[in-house]
Each structure stands twice: as structure tokens, then as C-alpha cells.
Amino acid sequence: MDTHDVKDLPEVFQRIAQQKKSLCDAQSRKGQRPRRDPAMTLIFNHNLQRMTNEMRNLASMDGGTATYGTTFVPPPYPPCIRPLAELTKTTIDKLVLETQHRGTYLLVRCVTRQDRLTAVTAIVEDENRDAILLQLYHQELAFESTEDILNLGRVLIIKEPYLKFTANGGYALRVDHVGDVVFLAPDDERIPPVWLSSGVMECTASGWKTTGNERFERGEYRAAIEAYTQALECTPTAAESDTIHLNRSLAFIRMGAFDRALSDISAASSADSSEKALYRKAQALYGLQRFRDCCEVLKTLRQQYPNNKTARDLLNRAVARVAEQLHGRYDFKKMLDEAAKLRPPHLDHATYIGGPVVIKDSVISPAGRGMFTTRAVSAGELLLCEKAFAHVFVDESGTGAQALPMTMVIDAVNNRASMGAENELLNQAVQKLWRNPSLASAITNLHHGSYQPVDATSSVDGNPIIDTFLIRQIMALNSFGCPLTSRESVLGSSSKGAATTKQQEAAFHSSGIWPQASHINHSCTSNVRRCFIGDMMTVRATRDLPADAELVWWYRPPPSGVDATYLEHQKTFRSQWGFTCKCAMCRDLRDTPRSVLQRRRQLLDEFASLLGTSPQQQSRGLAGGGGGGRRPLKAGVLKKASAIVQKLDATYKNTAPTRVPRPAVAGLNMELARRLADGTEAGAAESARYALAALEACGFVICTGQSPGRGPLVVKEWGLMIDTVLDAWLYLQEAYWIVAPHLAVSALGYARTAYKICVGEDVSFGDALAGQGTGSSR
């Protein structure tokens, strides 16, 4: 592990090649015994590094230069799946480089305080007093980092130890799998007598319980659990055992280990009648999102203890969660308020599991599964609203109380580097599975490419087997970048037009994994769209869909038909997800000659030069926000601009927009609609014409609206729901209030639906209209 100034970030990517070379060099020494450094040298260097890291962290907190950690992902190796009783004891002097010592275990003691950056580290020694650096990965979460794991004198067992070269040329014991380390109690019989602390054997159940209570009050939940465990091993009375189990269950709840809490509650003889036991059980069930079971427990609790106000409050919350789960009844305004205030923005809401969707074998991805409608649905309808299994919020300001240290993760094996929340997201997922084995299938059944997980039983030595490299692969293929809210990312924080490219990219440094939504396969011509409010994802239909339609969305923005060749566009799909997109837009891009793409780029540049807009903005098909306000267009400029749009549209002569949408054409039409919306009747009429053209370029089929004053406005077919569509409907309804009021109501309704699709909700639609400055507050 290393630390670097953020200003050096671009240079870090060059280290992928260096790391590849290091891996090759390391493999050439596989099986060799390393030169062992004296224990005092290792201890001195570790303590020096720990003090350096502490000073850097303090400097960063005081407003100095921010630092970030760098972690190198090793080649995958499997977790130990054998019981400890079947392993043979080994010692440090018998370990060889770049080798996982299968069938063995190592007993060690910490001889330094821990350090932490991207892993928890300490110097450990074995019974022969040989010392080595130990690196434990994925053992804690960011919010738990105030509590030490590797205390001075802590004794632990490393199952099937793996001796690795480190990035700085040294070597260390590396533990990536959370189940491959066993933390021993102070009086464990496997600890050598010379390592035992004096007085440990005389401690009683009551004494350990008191110690556990003290640690719990200090917020040291991990240490409290260990003390309660010690108490249970000291032959407590039946009454003491009940109290200790219930106390430990609360510590487990605070740690998010709800499965373990339920086990403790079940072990208490008063589990079905005690007020405390019933409430703890309800808390644990609530944490597992088993809300209906939670309600049943709370009803029993309320019957037996009607004056318990906290139980009444929790029951009200659980009932609201059941309504969300079964009927999709969400208070989106409340959710927006919560997301604005909470840091991290982890909302107390449930996953909508009663929606009109089902997961089954995919048509698009024959080797995998997909999500399908169970009945006909309408554009804008809520199909899924899911709470993240794991979610990491990155405070872009870096000043929030929940700001996370940034981590560069370099995976030289897969030629990949990432910056941001990936490491902490993996930690969250691993720890959640470790603490709640009942949730494992939600993650482990997701697509994981060619990775071959271990063939393991459900548990070993009473603990689940968590293959960290499997979870890492699942994260890489199924996680989503996400803004704080989609409203901010679509409209921009100032609510003055579309967000800038920089704003949109910054909004997606946070990330999460939503297991249900992960089953939706890719197509550039998507029929659903995802949106975010904190750690909640909404999925809405972007068009009317029949029953048994497979849902698809884009994993990356669809091609504009201007910026990239077919091969360039497919590169990300192949490298990141291992497939080639075969949608109509990609096939059309494949069949479009490079000369035509160059001609389109030339036309966009001419348009940008003529109107003074950003070529990048136009090529992405985004409207507004960067053109410097509604500067009026002279007749001659409008004529030339309109001619450019017609020429660009003519380059798509082989397919209709309903089959292959034209985002670039839509973007130019939308820019003209925006410029012409000057509040006059003539300007409104022209603005409406170009807004309709933008919608048609996106594949919309709209009847009658082209002739204001005659007939209703009807969308016969919805098109590609890029952000330009929302802009077009907002400007169209604004224009119709001036030139065709009888059409404005219909246009406003379609604008609301488009807003709901692009933002995820419509409770903020009125505020958006006012903030956009459309001139309409109706």
C-alpha cells in the first residue's frame, strides 16, 4: 500500500504496466524462501509508516493536501474451505513466496499497534519469535475504523496463509478472505501459555458481561461482542445467559449482523415472551427487510406490552415498509428531503417486490437471466424501486462528516484501474454477507463472467465461506455509479438548464449494487430508465410495453452516431462486461462508413461555430445549459442552422428514427427550440416546431401537434428517453401555452411523464418548471 497526493493521480495509471512487471517478477520467485528481516527492523519501519499516515490524515483533515491510498489486486486465490481441525500448524520460517500454503494454518501474535489505509496491518510473530507484516483486507467498514482490530498482544490464526510480495518490494502475509482469519479469545486453549495475559482465567461470566457492557457504551461493538462471547463460555446461570445473549444481540444489530442477532435471540429462553427479546427480534427482522415478519412480532409485543412507545413507532415504520414492498407506495417528497439531509444518504425504505416484473431466462443474453414484464405497462409506470444491497457515498467536497478516503484500486490482472468508492463498496458487500449469510444468494447468484468460484459448502467452522474475488468480480459487472439524486444530475444543481458534462461525471463517483436491477440486460435502445434518490433506485418504463417484454437499458450512453466508430463504441462493452452490443443503433453505427461519420462531425462543428455552442454538447445530444442563454437568432442565422440540421438528418438515410434514433439531430433541433423560445407568439410557434422535430429524431411518433389549433396532441409511440427529450417536452408545453393553449395541457402531461422517467419522480416537477425558467407556472 502507498499514499499519493491527489495531484499525482494521472501518473498512477502508468503503474498498471509497472505492476504487471512486478507480478511477473514475483512469479519468477514463486516457491523461494524470502530473506527474513529482523523483528526490530520490521517493527521500526511499521511504526514509522503508521505515524507518517497519521500525520498525513491530520493534515488532510486540517485542509492540507488530500491523500489517497493505492491498493493492488493480487491474482485471485480461493478461500479456505476446510475446517480448522483438518489443517496442520506451520510457522513463518516454513513459508515460501507467492504461495498459498494449502492445508496449513499459522498461529501468530500482534507485536505492534495496527495501521490502516487500504488494509489493516500489523507486525506479528509466531511462537519461534519470527516476525512478518500481516495485511488484513475487507475486515472492517469505514464507519467502524475507530475501533482497533489488531490490538497489541492480539492472537489470531491465519488459515492457509498466503505469502505475497508487496508493492514496495517487500513481502507480507496477505489475507483477502474474511473467513481466513480466526481471532482467538484471551483464554483460548490454543494460545501458548507464554502469550496468555495474567488474570484472564479467573474472570467470571458476570465480569465479562460487565466488560462487554462498558465496551458497548463506548461504541466498541466488536470488542463488546468478544466480551459477551467470553461470558457465555464461563458457564453463566440461565438468567445470566439470557441477558448476555440479548446484550450481544443488540451489539450484533449495531454492527449490522442481523442473522447473528436472531441466533442470539433464539438462544434466550425468554425469546417468545420477554419485552426486550421481542423488540430485539423485530429490530433484526427490520434490518433484514423482512418487514411482514417484523410486523407480526411487533403486534405480539404490542399486545403483551401496550405501553411500549418504541415498539409502536417501529410498527408504524414497518407497516409503511410493507406498503412499499407490496404496492410501491412511496412518499417521494420525503425521500428527496431525506437524501438532502442524510450523510451518507441511506434511506429507510423498502424494495418494491410486488411490481409487474419477474426474473427469468433472458432472450437477449441466452447464458443469463433477465427481467420481464408480467402484464402490459405504460410509459412512466414504476416497475421497480430497490434499496441498495451496498452503497458508498463519496462527498465530492471532501468535507462532510461521512467523507471517505479515496482509494485507487489497480487490477493489473484485468488491466483495470479505478478511483473512488470501489474498495469500500467491496468491503460493505463482503461484511454484509459475512454478518448475514441468509442474504448470500442475492449477490452470489448474479452474473460473474468466467470466474470460477470455489465449490464450497454453505459454512465452515460455523461461519459462511465468502470468496472475496467472486464478490469483486460481481461488483465489477453489476455495480452502478450513482448521483445523490437523478434530479440534480439531469437538471444541474442550479436548476438552470441541463447539467454540464463535468457535473454529470462528478455526480457518479458514488456507487452501489442493486441485485434485482442487476438482472436488467443492456441495449442502447432501452425501454426502461433507472434513477436514484440516495441509495434507492427507481426503474420506470420509457414506453408502453406488452406483457412478457424483456426490460433493457443502456450500461453506457447510446452512440450519437457522430463521435465514435463501431469498434470504439464496443470497446467498453467488451472490456468491462464481456459482450458486444447488437442493438439497432450499434448495427447502424457498424454499417455507417467512416466518411459519413466525419461528415456528421463536420456539420456539428459548423453548427457550433454558427451558434456559438459547444461541439461536445451537441455531439452528446444534450440541449441547453451551455449556450450562454437564450440569445435571439437572426433570420439568416436560423436559415443556415436549419439547413445544417437538415443535412445532418439526411445522413441517416437508411433507417427511420423509430428504429434508429438520432440523438445528434435531436440535440441540434433542441438548441434551435431553446434559442427561439423568446416569449413571442412567432418565436413560440417556431420553438414548438423544432421541439417536435427533436422528439421525432428520438423516435417519437406524435400526432396532430405539428398543426397548433387543430386536434389533440397524442403520443402514439415513445422514443429513446435521453435527457434531450425532457428538454423538448418542457419547451413544447411552454410554447403551446402561448400559441395553442388547448394543446398545452396535453404537452404538460407528457412533460410530467418524461420528467418522471428521467428523474424518477414527479413530486418536484412544479419546482423544476419554475427553476427551468420556462415562463410557465401552470
Between CA 345 and CA 336, with CA 623 as vertex, the angle to 5 degrees is: 20
The CA-CA-CA angle for residues 758, 491, 619, to 5°, reads 80
In Å, what is the CA distance from 676 to each residue of 630, 665, 697, 702, 742? Answer: 8, 17, 19, 21, 21
Query: Matching CATH topology for 2-195 and 334-553?
Result: no
What pLDDT, on a 0 to 100 scale, did the predictor assign at position 68?
62
**Rounded Cα gap, residues 174 and 585, in angstroms:** 46
Element (H, E) at 369: strand 369-373
User: Is residue 386 a contact partner of residue 352, using CB atoms and an 8 Å limit?
Assistant: yes
CB-based contacts of 55, cutoff 8 Å, min separation 6? none
Distance CA 691, CA 685 (A): 10
Q: What is the pLDDT of residues 316-355, one digit of tens each?
A: 999 999 999 999 999 999 999 999 999 999 999 999 988 9
What is the amino acid identity at position 54?
A: E
pLDDT at 577: 87
Res 113: pLDDT: 95
> How much is the pLDDT for 7?
43
What's the angle, vertex CA 59, arms to CA 57 and CA 62, rounded to 5? 110
Type and span of the H or E element at 125:
strand 120-125
Reduced to 3 states, what is the DSSP secondary structure of residue 495? coil
- The dihedral over CA atoms of 133, 139, 141, 143, expressed in degrees to the nearest 10, equals -70
Task: Please state the separation of Cα 738 from the chain's center in Å.
Answer: 44
The residue type at 622: L
For 221, half-sphere exposure in the C-beta direction (CA atoms, 13 angstrom radius) is 17
Cα angle, residue 481 at apex, residues 72 and 324 outer, rounded to 5°:
130
Q: CA–CA separation, 222 vs 400, rounded Å?
A: 25
Type of residue numbered 503:
Q
- Say what the pLDDT of residue 397 is: 57
Q: Which of 474, 467, 468, 473 is nearest to 442 (CA)?
A: 474
> What's the grid cell of residue 590?
457498424
Instruction: Tell me what pLDDT residue 566 has.
Output: 84
For residue 186, what pLDDT is reported?
87
**Does the structure show a pLDDT above 80 at 291?**
yes
Q: What per-residue confidence (pLDDT) applies to 686?
A: 95
pLDDT at 156 > cutoff 80: yes
Q: Which CATH architecture has domain 200-327?
A: Alpha Horseshoe (1.25)
Mean pLDDT of 375-389: 98
Task: Kindly indicate the confidence band of residue 492, based on its pLDDT and cuts at 50, 70 and 90.
Answer: low
Give residue 617's pLDDT. Answer: 47
Phi, psi angles (nearest 5°) of residue 280 = -60, -40
DSSP state of 708: T
Closest C-alpha among 681, 653, 655, 657 to residue 669? 657
C-alpha R_g of the chain: 30
3-state DSSP assignment of residue 386 = strand
Strand partners, 464: 459
Query: Crossing angle for the helix pair 238-255 and 221-232, nearest 10 degrees?
Result: 160
Q: 775: pLDDT confidence band, cut at 50, 70 and 90?
A: very low
User: What's the burial of 484, exposed, middle or buried (CB within 10 Å: 0-12/13-18/19+)?
Assistant: buried
Share of the chain above pLDDT 90, in %: 66
**So what's the pLDDT on residue 63?**
56
Q: What is d(CA 710, CA 568) in angstroms, rounded to the nearest whole number?
A: 46
What residues does each domain of the chain span?
Answer: 2-195, 200-327, 334-553, 593-772
Query: What CA–CA distance (Å, rounded) separates 671 from 139?
Result: 52
Q: What is the mean pLDDT of the segment spanning 53-74?
A: 68
Q: What is the pLDDT of residues 636-658, one digit of tens each?
A: 999 999 999 999 999 998 789 99
Query: Could you tell me which CATH class the domain 2-195 is placed in?
Result: mainly beta
Burial code (b: 16+ CB inside 10 Å, e: under 16) for 727-738 equals bbbbbbbbbbbb
pLDDT band of 10, cuts 50, 70, 90: low
Q: By the 8 A CB rule, do 259 and 216 touch?
A: no
Q: What are phi and psi of 265, to 5 degrees?
A: -65, -40
Q: What is the DSSP letter of 149?
A: S
Model pLDDT, residue 199: 54
Contacts 24+ apart (CB under 8 A), 625-631: 625/492, 625/496, 625/497, 625/498, 625/499, 625/500, 626/497, 626/498, 626/500, 627/671, 627/674, 627/675, 630/674, 630/675, 630/677, 630/678, 631/675
**Alpha-carbon span 687 to 774, nearest angstrom:** 12
pLDDT at 107: 98
pLDDT digits (tens, 9 = 90+) for 391-404: 999 876 554 444 56
**Residue 34, preceding bond cis, omega within 30 degrees?**
no
Most confident of 424-433, 696-705, 763-772: 424-433
Calculate what percentage of the chain has a pLDDT beyond 70.
85
Measured in whole angstroms, the distance separating CA 167 from the mean position of its chain's CA atoms is: 28
Which CATH class for the 334-553 domain? mainly beta
Spatial distance between the Cα atoms of 326 and 351, rounded to a whole number of angstroms: 9
**pLDDT reading at 280 higher than 70:** yes
Say what the pLDDT of residue 515 is: 97
pLDDT at 717 over 90: yes
Average pLDDT, stretch 24-36?
80
Examine the pLDDT at 494 and tell me if it is beyond 50.
no
Amino acid at 228: Y
3-state SS of 32-66 is: CCCCCCCHHHHHHHHHHHHHHHHHHHHHHHCCCCC
H or E element that contains 703: strand 701-703
Helix (H) or strand (E) holding 21: helix 15-28
**Helical spans, DSSP H, in 381-435:** 422-435
In this structure, the chain runs to a length of: 778
> Cα separations (Å) of 165 from 174, 383, 412, 542?
9, 49, 14, 51
CB contact set of 246 (below 8 Å; sequence gap of 6+) = 264, 265, 268, 274, 276, 277, 280
Taking a C-beta distance cutoff of 8 angstroms, is the pair 89, 105 a contact? yes
pLDDT band at 43 (very low <50, low <70, confident <90, very high): very high
**Is residue 426 pLDDT above 80, yes or no?**
yes
